[in-house]
């Protein structure tokens, strides 16, 4: 039961909101918390009963370690045990198969492991609990009441696909009684955010997914032009899919009275790789900065160490996204691009602090370029890096690169575009058929071009946070949202799972 399902929209969400506000209206705050926890657990249970068991075990162990700190003051030991437990849980369910495959490849052994089904969202709730146990051992977090800690961990809007919210920023809100009161403006803005996110997912991302899935499945048959189209389609699909989920998650949370941390801030407007990672998956970036980069020494231990620390963080970020060499290569490529920015050979002219900033090798940049050029180069390099991210393995990735940089023609452009089969196309195909004309291929090609163009246009406009913040709910806005919701709702029958569910 995802956010983009009939069950969630027509049954789960109305029951949740009615129960939550009714209980809080009569100041039954503890009962309301238990109700929200149970609804969140049911939401997670809908993906698999065993997943719920694993989540509950994780909560029990981490809370038990926090409780142990109250009676046995050994913070360093408890921090080590807590981090190792969480990483071991993540390793077993997410990385064991990858590890065994590589051991077999290196040693010629024939080790086997039974197929392990990875719990949805394990990377998100595990990192959230690591942040808590580390802060708890460092004296930066109290021993929260059990219900508040469970509520923070299982809070369903962030549970399966983030953002990675820190304990304090959520539990402080849970403790604020004023946020439990129904606020029509906040509720309306939450609903608006949910509708915008839903439309990103089901109207744009899921439509582009058809061509993307086909292109990356039949990589070896593609020509250069088709590769370019597929890469662009995936670049927009992954953003619209993930940011769409975050918009929906924050929308649902706002309807409940709470705000999740911002995870995206128009990343495709970035003019450097470093700026992109200050805008893309922001809560993951801050987690690695606080719990990996700074403990490794950050930029305090010399230039070489700074470079190594940056690369470590990005390789780990790649691994966090998936157990495969393609993800490691993607992370390493992003890390190298960030290091290139830090070196100071090239800087964006419009960067306000460009003259004040000290680079790794230079006091001032050697070359300055217009921001528009920085935007184009950053976007291009990110598009190229996503070939690693999406390909089945390194062989497929190399095949995609060969077809991108060494011109081939003809190929599968029409066949690839035909996978954007949408209901709207049926009307045009029937119309031309009645007129005795067959323009199916041309219709498909125009469709994929239009969807890529619309996606690119959306990327250049205000993001959802900016739109919602300044929203005025006049007749025009309400009508636009109604049309968008109805269109999205009709499209729900064709939806796919969210990309980041697998992480």
pLDDT tens-digit profile of 28-65? 999 999 999 999 999 999 999 999 999 999 999 999 99
Interval 66-87: pLDDT, tens = 999 988 889 999 999 999 999 9
At 223, give phi and psi (nearest 5°): -105, 175
Mean pLDDT throughout 218-243?
A: 93
Looking at the predicted structure, is the pLDDT value of residue 407 above 50? yes
Its pTM stands at 0.91
For residues 442 and 354, the model is more confident at 442
Looking at the predicted structure, is the pLDDT value of residue 142 above 80? yes
Beta bridge partners of 367: 346
Q: Which residues contact 356 (CB under 8 A, 6 or more apart)?
A: none
Q: Tokens 């993906």 correspond to what residue?
A: 47
DSSP result, 194-229:
HHHHHHIIIIIIHHHHHHHHHHHHSGGG--HHHHHH
Residue 356's pLDDT band, with cuts at 50, 70 and 90, is low
Q: Which residues contact 398 (CB under 8 A, 6 or more apart)?
A: none
Mean pLDDT throughout 11-17?
A: 96
Looking at the predicted structure, is the pLDDT value of residue 425 above 70? no
CA geometry: angle at 184 spanning 264 and 155, to 5°?
50
Q: Which residues contact 3 (CB under 8 A, 6 or more apart)?
A: 194, 197, 198, 245, 248, 249, 252
- Between CA 131 and CA 148 the distance in angstroms is 16
- Report the pLDDT value the prediction gives residue 441, as an integer from 0 to 100: 74
Residue 365's pLDDT band, with cuts at 50, 70 and 90, is confident
Looking at the predicted structure, is the pLDDT value of residue 500 above 60? no
- Report the pLDDT value the prediction gives residue 465, as an integer from 0 to 100: 92
DSSP result, 43-62:
HHHTT-HHHHHHHHHHHHHH
Q: Which long-range contacts (CB under 8 A, 24 or more apart) does 340-344 make?
A: 340/273, 341/272, 341/273, 341/274, 342/274, 342/306, 342/307, 342/310
- Report the pLDDT value the prediction gives residue 116, as an integer from 0 to 100: 82
Let me know: does 62 contact 82? Beta carbons within 8 Å: yes
Mean pLDDT throughout 474-485?
A: 92
DSSP count for the chain of H helices, then E strands: 24, 2
Looking at the predicted structure, is the pLDDT value of residue 138 above 50? yes
- Between CA 229 and CA 244 the distance in angstroms is 22
Residue 459's pLDDT band, with cuts at 50, 70 and 90, is confident
Evaluate the CA torsion angle 356, 360, 366, 370 in order and state its sign. negative
Looking at the predicted structure, is the pLDDT value of residue 497 above 70? no
Residue 435's pLDDT band, with cuts at 50, 70 and 90, is low
Interval 297-352: pLDDT, tens = 988 888 899 999 999 999 999 999 988 999 999 999 999 999 999 888 888 886 55
- Report the pLDDT value the prediction gives residue 418, as an integer from 0 to 100: 82
Which of these, 450, 440, 449, lies nearest to 225 by C-alpha position? 449
Residue 189's pLDDT band, with cuts at 50, 70 and 90, is very high
Mean pLDDT throughout 485-496?
A: 78
Mean pLDDT throughout 408-435?
A: 70
Residue 438's pLDDT band, with cuts at 50, 70 and 90, is low
- Report the pLDDT value the prediction gives residue 105, as an integer from 0 to 100: 87
- Between CA 483 and CA 503 the distance in angstroms is 33
Which of these, 275, 375, 273, lies nearest to 332 by C-alpha position? 273
Interval 263-288: pLDDT, tens = 999 999 999 999 999 999 999 999 99
- Report the pLDDT value the prediction gives residue 148, as an integer from 0 to 100: 96
Let me know: does 54 contact 89? Beta carbons within 8 Å: yes
The DSSP 8-state label assigned to residue 117 in this structure reads: P
Looking at the predicted structure, is the pLDDT value of residue 479 above 80? yes
- Report the pLDDT value the prediction gives residue 354, as an integer from 0 to 100: 46
């Amino acid at each position: 039961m995802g956010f983009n399902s009939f069950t969630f929209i027509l049954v789960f969400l109305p029951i949740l909101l009615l129960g939550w506000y009714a209980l809080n209206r009569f100041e039954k705050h503890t009962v309301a918390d238990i109700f929200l926890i149970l609804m969140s657990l049911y939401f997670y249970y809908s993906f698999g009963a065993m997943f719920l068991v694993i989540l509950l075990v994780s909560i029990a162990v981490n809370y038990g370690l926090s409780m142990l700190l109250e009676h046995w003051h050994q913070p360093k030991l408890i921090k080590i045990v807590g981090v190792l437990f969480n990483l071991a849980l993540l390793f077993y369910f997410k990385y064991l198969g990858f590890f065994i495959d590589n051991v077999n490849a290196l040693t010629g052994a024939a080790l086997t492991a039974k197929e392990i089904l990875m719990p949805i969202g394990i990377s998100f709730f595990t990192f959230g609990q690591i942040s808590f146990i580390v802060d708890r051992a460092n004296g930066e977090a109290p021993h929260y009441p059990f219900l508040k800690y469970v509520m923070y961990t299982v809070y369903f809007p962030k549970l399966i696909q983030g953002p990675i919210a820190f304990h304090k920023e959520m539990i402080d809100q849970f403790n604020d009684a004023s946020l439990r009161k129904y606020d029509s403006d906040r509720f309306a803005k939450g609903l608006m955010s949910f509708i915008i996110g839903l439309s990103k997912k089901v109207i744009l991302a899921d439509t582009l997914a058809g061509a993307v899935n086909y292109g990356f499945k039949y990589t070896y048959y593609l020509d250069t032009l088709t590769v370019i189209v597929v890469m662009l389609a995936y670049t927009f699909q992954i953003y619209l899919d993930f940011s769409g989920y975050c918009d929906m998650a924050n929308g649902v949370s706002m309807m409940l009275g709470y705000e999740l941390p911002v995870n995206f801030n128009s990343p495709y407007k970035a003019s450097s790789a470093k700026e992109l990672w200050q805008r893309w998956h922001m809560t993951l970036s801050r987690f690695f900065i606080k719990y990996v980069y700074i403990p490794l020494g950050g930029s305090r231990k010399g230039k070489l160490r700074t470079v190594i620390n940056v690369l470590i963080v990005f390789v780990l970020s790649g691994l966090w996204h998936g157990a495969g060499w393609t993800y490691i290569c993607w992370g390493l490529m992003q890390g190298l691009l960030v290091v290139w920015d830090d070196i100071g050979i090239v800087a964006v002219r419009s960067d306000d602090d460009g003259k004040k900033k000290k680079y790794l090798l230079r006091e001032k940049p050697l070359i300055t370029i217009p921001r528009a050029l920085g935007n184009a180069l950053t976007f291009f390099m990110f598009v190229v890096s996503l070939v690693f991210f999406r390909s089945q393995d390194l062989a497929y990735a190399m095949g995609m690169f060969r077809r991108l940089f060494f011109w081939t023609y003809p190929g599968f452009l029409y066949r690839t575009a035909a996978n954007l089969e949408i209901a709207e196309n049926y009307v045009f195909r029937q119309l031309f058929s009645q007129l005795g004309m067959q323009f199916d291929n041309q219709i498909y090609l125009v469709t994929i071009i239009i969807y890529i163009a619309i996606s690119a246009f959306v990327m250049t406009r205000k993001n959802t946070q900016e739109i919602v913040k300044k929203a005025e709910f006049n007749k025009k806005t309400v009508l636009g949202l109604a049309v968008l919701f109805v269109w999205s709702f009709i499209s729900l029958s064709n939806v796919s799972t969210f990309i980041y569910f697998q992480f």
